[in-house]
Each structure stands twice: as C-alpha cells, then as structure tokens.
Amino acid sequence: MNHIGTIRLETDRLILRRFTIEDAEEMFHNWASDDEVTKYLTWPTHQNVEMTIGYINYCIQGYADPAFYQWTIEIKETHELIGNISAVKVIEETDSLELGWVIGRKYWGNGYTAEAAKTVLEVFFDKVGANCVYAGHDVNNPNSGRVMQKIGMKYEGTLRQSGRNNQGIVDCARYSILRSER
C-alpha cells in the first residue's frame, strides 16, 4: 500500500482532521466520558480529561507514521468535535485495513458516521491502494452494523467469542468491502 497518513478530508457537512491537544476537553465531554458511547468499545470510558490528553498525545506521536490513520470528526458549520474514525489495524500482507469509529450520543442518528466512513473508504481505496477494508461490531450493537451496510460493506459472518470490549468477551459480526466492489 502507498501510505499517506492522516490527511485533512472534507465532506458536505464534515471536516476530518488530525487531533490537536486543544481537542481534549471537547473529546472528553462529547464522547470519551460517556459510558453509553463507550459501552461496546475496546477502550475504557475516560474518567478524567487527563486520560483524553494521553490518548491525543498518542495520536499526535502516531502522525509521524504514514500508516497511522486517526481523524477527528468535526461538523463543518459549527466546528463541534463529535467523534473520531480510524484505521484500527493495517495489514500489509493483504493490503487490508480495519475501520473503526466512535461518535458522541448527542450526534447519533444524523448519518455523520456513514458520511465520514464513505470518505475514508475512498481515500483507502483510491490513494492508499487498499484491497479490502473491513470492520466488526459486537452483535449487541446492531447500529454499528447498519453503518457498515450503508457504506457498502457486506456481512461476512459472526465470529463467536472473538472480541473483547467493555462488555467482556463477545461475538463479533464482521463486514467488509473490496476495492473491486465499489
């Protein structure tokens, strides 16, 4: 793959950009500290803004690696930070990337996640040269699966007891899309 790093992207309603340390308070309040938002995630709810600062510092250091993809999701009109989207895993052997996201509860149901994910998919296929982009979700979180369907991913199957999140060990539904299927 031809890695290009976390470049600024725009959609009709969103700006996808790199984290800055100034994003810590907004990230903490808009999604990272909400137990309902982090319920099905693999990282714990942030108990204080220092945890969020630590995560953002990890991202800032990661931006030096062209194979590191971690965007904030910002509403273009209001500049509200509403979530983030990333390549959770990059697998060079198969030209594959795993896509993951989180969005604040206040912003659920507006199509923001699918809008951001479609744009990231375009970049992964057209600029990075990925062959496959996949994602998975806890079977008890079907809303995440609906986003996967909206962006053209196909259901591959459910892997029993194959994931761990804040609910423990869980069954994961897996979806993917190939470059040739777009």
Q: What domains are defined for the chain?
A: 9-132 (3.40.630.30)
Q: Position 55: which residue type?
A: Y
Residue 113's pLDDT is 98
- Averaged pLDDT score across all residues of the chain: 98
Check: CB of residue 37 under 8 Å from CB of residue 31. Answer: yes
Residue 122's pLDDT is 98
- Express as a percent the part of the chain with pLDDT over 90: 99
Residue 128's pLDDT is 98
Give residue-wise pLDDT tens across range 12-63.
Answer: 999 999 999 999 999 999 999 999 999 999 999 999 999 999 999 999 999 9
Residue 129's pLDDT is 98
Task: Record the pTM.
Answer: 0.95
Q: Strand, helix or coil at 123?
A: helix
| Average pLDDT rounded to a whole number, residues 119-131 | 98
Compute CA distances 142 → 27, 30, 91, 104, whole Å.
Answer: 24, 22, 26, 17
> For residue 31, what are its two tokens?
């999604």
For residue 107, the cross-strand partners are: none
